[in-house]
Structure 1
Amino acid sequence: MKTKFIIYTFLFVVVLSAACKKNLDLKQKGVYNTDNYFRNETDAVNVISGIYNLLAQEDYISHAETTFDVASDDYWRSGDHAEDEAIENLTYNASNAQVNFSWTYKYETVNRSTNAIINIPRIMEITPAVKNRCMGEAYFFRAFGYWRLMLIYGDVPIVTEADYQNSNFNLPKSPIEEVRKQIEADLLKAVELLPENYPDSERGRVNKGTALGLLTKLYMYWEKLPQAIETGEKVINNNKYALATNYQDNFTRANEKSTEILMSVQGLQNVVQNDYTIYYIPRAWGGYGFSQPLKGLADEFEANDTRKAATLLSLGDKMDLGDGKGETEFTSDLSSTGYSFRKYAVFYPFKSDEGTGVDHNYAVPLMRSADIYLLVAEAKIRTQGAGAGDALINIVRKRASPLLSPVAGAGMPQLIHERRMELAGEGERHQDLMRWDKKNIVDIAAIYNLPKSKAPVDQAKTVNFVRPKHYYYPIPQVEIDKSNGVLKQNPNF
């Protein structure tokens, strides 16, 4: 029997007695499926928009994904979520709420993307350019869903087009090598189909540079360093993905036209609340105050590194909250660690003439060209020796501040420092440390077992990183139970 993919459903639930049921028999309206939905270009674009909409969900990119970095030496989780505390302390189990949310939303991304991949090709009333773009977006997002599944869980089920069409969803895990191959195949198709960039009216969509960027990251995690160099240089050498003139330009309300931002969460504030940023903002300023930076991160910035001021709010810093009150000082009562992330606070509508329902666009960066510059620099250092990545590291450093001394003969310690400073708070640190630990470049257990008591908050704790257990998170127990034993738990959980 052909699977029916429900796109939009208007569901009316009426609780009535049997006596009056006969008076309320209504014909079902507003239901679309694969037989009657994929009719024209508008339908194709709307289906792809439904994939983008997932990125704004609080339990997907907006908060849950950020939580997977709080175990790192950059954050104190703050907040009142027990599941976040367990992830920070590496004491989570297969029933952890964030672990469950993560699985569900990523497979929903795979689901919606595969639905588009199967059905858009049969639409006749669509221009070739839009058709290619939509297919490229669908292939990219399916790869993105599997990419995040792979990073977090390791071996995961691969659901093919044939599985969807045959309603075959109860599948065992595929080895991580096969998952990587699936991601690679989808990204190569996305690179082929996506345009290099868009007119202003379509900005925010993933493009060829986005797919090339994620492919570069895949090759780095796959330890295919020559391929990472080749793919990454296609981003670096294309001025359509050039670095922004100033580092802080990536973290302003005017950043939506930045060529550096390869992928972002975008939306109008009066349509979609920006949960991604509200988690970082101090509670007294209307946010939740989660993921507070630690003193160790603040101390690693060099004296002339302007990225510190662009990244962090420190005690004594001032910020205009509106209401005609002028600048408000960042004080010790606003953070338990003495710091907050400025780079995300700037997206939040503080001013009273704007309010929570303000009609302004926000574009929170998820992947930037600078990340790719530093990955290619790393790949060159690791394949060609110290100094091979100097040119790329120095481009990033000079953009941060011309007062920063250029590196010479840089090896992995300098590269690791640069990634930490450039990408602080952007969800890369924990995964970076784990992949470097696997290659004996760092000792993640020693880094995480150091007490974090230098911060004003009492965080003199020991985070016990256990290899290989903590390289991946457990498969949600609820998914294993639903599979009737087909899905097996990850080792050590």
Structure 2
Amino acid sequence: MKTKIMSKFLILLVGFLVLSSCNDFLEEDLRDQITPDAFFTNDKEAELAVNGVYRLFHDNNVYRQRGLDNYYTSGADIQAANRDVNGAIHNYLIQEGTADGNGTWIQLYRVVNNTTEFISNIEGNENLSDDAKSSRLGELLFLRALAYYHLTNLWGDVPFYTEQLPVLERSVLGRTSKAEIRSAMKEDLARAFALLPGSYSGNDLGRASKWAAATLKAKYHLFDEEWALAKAECDVVIDGGAHRLLDNYADVFNQSDPSNQYNEEYIFVIDFEADYDGNLATTRTDDYNPRIRDEPAGRNNDTIVNGVSGSKVNIFQGLLRDQAEDMTGYGWSVPLPEFALQENWQDGDLRYDATIVTEYLGWKLAFPYFRKNWNLDQENSLRGNHPENYIVFRLADVYLMAAEAENELNGPGTAYFYVNKVRERAFEPDQPWSGLSKEEFREAMYDERKFELSAEGHRRMDLIRWGILLETVQTVQHRPWNNPAANIQPYHVLLPVPQNQLELNPNLLESDPTNNGYR
């Protein structure tokens, strides 16, 4: 069963909004019992506070809609909208005040504010049991490191603090180097690993485990090209035995049963839940679901099916509804033409059919879609009210990170083991890698991560860390309404510090008056 983080109350702490919540197994309504002065007096209240931080990641500017996806999936070589929308981001027309990520910046700093505040209230708190202090501190350290991971990915140097600061002092902070921030977060994640449990069950599914902390730490090391440290963290996760690669690639993404949306490959997900107040449901699925106004191909043409005549769209929609499905999405995230063509995948790659859909119920579609991320179910996954979890980390990613790090350290010899574990289920018969040089292995990994992890929020950052974003965007085929190749510049590997933040705090320009090259 999923963790149902239900909104129960709002608490104002030290000048910022703290969203707190209650899991379904906490039956009593604590709204009238909790005040800022009385908070953190027992284990339950500490849990409620941490639940509230998880809730912050449900915001539209982060994981609920296309907040992070705007900058992690758009503007690369895999996906874009099926019409002329979101062009400022995908076409690299970003500037201060235009698609500069201000909402995402604000929400991530809410996480930083709350986690830092709560850590100070939990550490050394004699009202809490040792087990509660350990687990809650571990979760908060992980969640803060996740926020700083996104902040440094998107903006590089950003304001940084890990101790409570008065609001006025926080409001004039300049930018700290990305290297310093990431070094501190790696230390925090090592501490989180020691504090966190290795597994959860029942309503606690969705909480951060020690393996989530190790995976995020591996990400930090990989992005900093600390190959030995990245490899070591990956091995910790792989050898820990808490997670396994599923036998069937399609099963990894099967969340059709709302009561059974976890599997052993998931390391950390943002847990969404339909039919509750607040932002507990996700609308991200709508970006991947088709619009019936677009489908099927030649939708307004007349046709005859089983002796019934009518427009193709009416007959097609009738077939969908016969199996309690419909196409009620936005079509904001569909495969780019080259990625949608099976001929551009390796022969025999079983991941293609699990990833791409170009026809449905025997009808050709006007656009290709990501089968792995759509859900047409009109009983359990309605428009604007979807329960699908956002998969942040899964084990296949860890294997591929280990392969990449091992190749950079020692060449492909031992690295084959890791990549071929992922490819075993991708091909029938198996098509393992062998006989590659170090450079050939590195370049082959560019495509392997592309096909294994498409539409999962990794691609653009991969292209940036490999130093090939510009050349990739300039050579891939886009649709007629998009032309990022004409606009992309070297500085687009980062966002500008948002204009609203600069107006509030001019000190953000002290260390870099160019604002990441946008001035």
Q: Does 1:363 align with 2:426?
A: no
Q: 1:340 aligns to what SS in structure 2?
A: strand
Match of 2:434 in 1: 408
2:317 equivalent in structure 1: none
Q: CA deviation at 1:329?
A: 3.9
Rounded to whole Å, the distance in 1 between the matches of 2:205 and 2:333 is: 29
Aligned twin of 1:398: 424
Establish whether residue 344 from structure 1 lines up as the match of residue 377 from structure 2.
no
Trace 1:80-479 onto structure 2 (pairs within 5 A): 81=85, 84-97=86-99, 99-121=101-123, 123-164=125-166, 168-253=170-255, 256-271=261-276, 272-284=280-292, 285-299=327-341, 300-314=344-358, 316-318=359-361, 329=363, 331-332=365-366, 338-346=367-375, 350-351=377-378, 353-354=379-380, 356=382, 362-410=388-436, 411-437=441-467, 443-450=468-475, 452=477, 459=482, 462-467=485-490, 469-479=491-501
Alignment-mate amino acid for residue 339 of structure 1: P
1:67 aligns with 2:70: yes
Offset, 1:31: 9.9
Partners of 2:385 and 2:173 in 1: CA distance: 44
Deviations 1:279-321 (A, max 9, x none): 211122111111211122233322311211111221x233xxx
Contact preservation (8 Å) 1:163, 1:169: no
Q: Secondary structure at the match of 1:116?
A: helix
Give yes or no for contact 2:222–2:401 (8 Å, CA) kept in 1: yes
Structure 1 partner of 2:8: none
Conserved 8 A contact 2:160-2:175: yes
| Partner-residue secondary structure (3-state), 2:131 | helix
Report the Cα distance in structure 1 between the residues aligned to 2:471 and 2:214, rounded to whole angstroms. 34
- Aligned to 1:366, the other structure's residue is in SS state strand
The worse-fitting range, judged by mean Cα deviation, of 361-370 and 428-437 is: 361-370
Tell me how far 1:277 sits from its aligned partner.
1.5
Alignment check: 8 A CA contact 1:388 1:409 kept:
no
Structure 1 unaligned regions, length at least 5: 10-28, 319-327, 333-337, 438-442
Cα distance in 2 between the residues matched to 1:388 and 1:191: 26
Deviates more, 1:168-177 or 1:122-131: 122-131
Q: Which residue of 1 aligns with 2:80?
A: 76
Does the CA-based 8 Å contact 1:153-1:475 persist in structure 2? yes
Assess, with a 3 A threshold, how the Cα gap between structure 1 residues 43 and 345 changes in structure 2: closer, same or farther. same
Over the aligned positions, Cα root-mean-square deviation in angstroms equals: 2.6
Instruction: Output the amino acid matched with 1:146.
Output: Y
2:117, 2:169 → 1: CA distance? Answer: 12
Compared with structure 1, are the counterparts of its residues 218 and 486 closer, same or farther at alpha carbon in structure 2 (3 Å cutoff)? Answer: closer
Question: Given residue 407 of structure 1, which amino acid in structure 2 is its aligned partner?
Answer: W
Work out the CA distance in 2 between the residues paired with 1:476 and 1:354. 38
CA distance in 1, matches of 2:61, 2:15: 26
One-letter code of the match for 2:360? D
Contact 2:117 2:164 in 1 (8 A): no
What is the correspondence of 1:471-490 to structure 2 with a 5 Å cutoff? 471-488=493-510, 490=515
Structure 1 vs Structure 2: percent identity of aligned residues?
A: 27
**TM-score between the two structures when normalised by the length of structure 2:** 0.80
CA distance in 1, matches of 2:107, 2:488: 27
Equivalent position SS for 2:77: coil
Separation in 1, partners of 2:209, 2:238: 15
Is contact 2:403–2:419 with CA below 8 Å preserved after alignment? yes
C-alpha contact 2:58 2:270 (8 A) present in aligned 1? yes
User: Taking structure 1 as the reference length, what is the TM-score of the superposition?
Assistant: 0.84
Conserved in 2, the CA contact under 8 Å of 1:204 and 1:256? no
2:236, 2:251 → 1: CA distance? Answer: 23
User: For residue 406 of structure 1, what is the amino acid of its counterpart?
Assistant: P
Structure 1 339/360 Cα, relative in aligned 2: closer, same or farther at 3 Å?
closer
Q: CA deviation at 1:123?
A: 4.2
Alpha-carbon distance between aligned partners in 2 of 1:290 and 1:371, rounded to the nearest angstrom: 25
**Partners of 2:203 and 2:78 in 1: CA distance:** 37
Say if 1:304 and 1:404, in contact at 8 Å, map to a contact too: no
Instruction: Report the AA paired with residue 452 of structure 1.
Output: Q
- Tell me the secondary structure at the aligned position of residue 52 of structure 2: helix
How much has 1:79 moved relative to structure 2? 5.6
Contact kept in structure 2, 1:305 and 1:404, CA below 8 Å: no
Contact 2:338-2:476 at 8 Å conserved across structures:
no
Higher relative contact order (CA 8 A, sep 6+): 2
Q: 1:40 to 1:165 in 2, by over 3 A?
A: farther
* Per-residue deviation, residues 371-407 of structure 1 (Å, max 9, x unmatched): 1110110011112123431111111001223324111
Partners of 1:481 and 1:165 in 2: CA distance: 16
Secondary structure class of the residue paired with 2:331: coil
Q: Distance in 2 between matches of 1:344 and 1:32?
A: 39
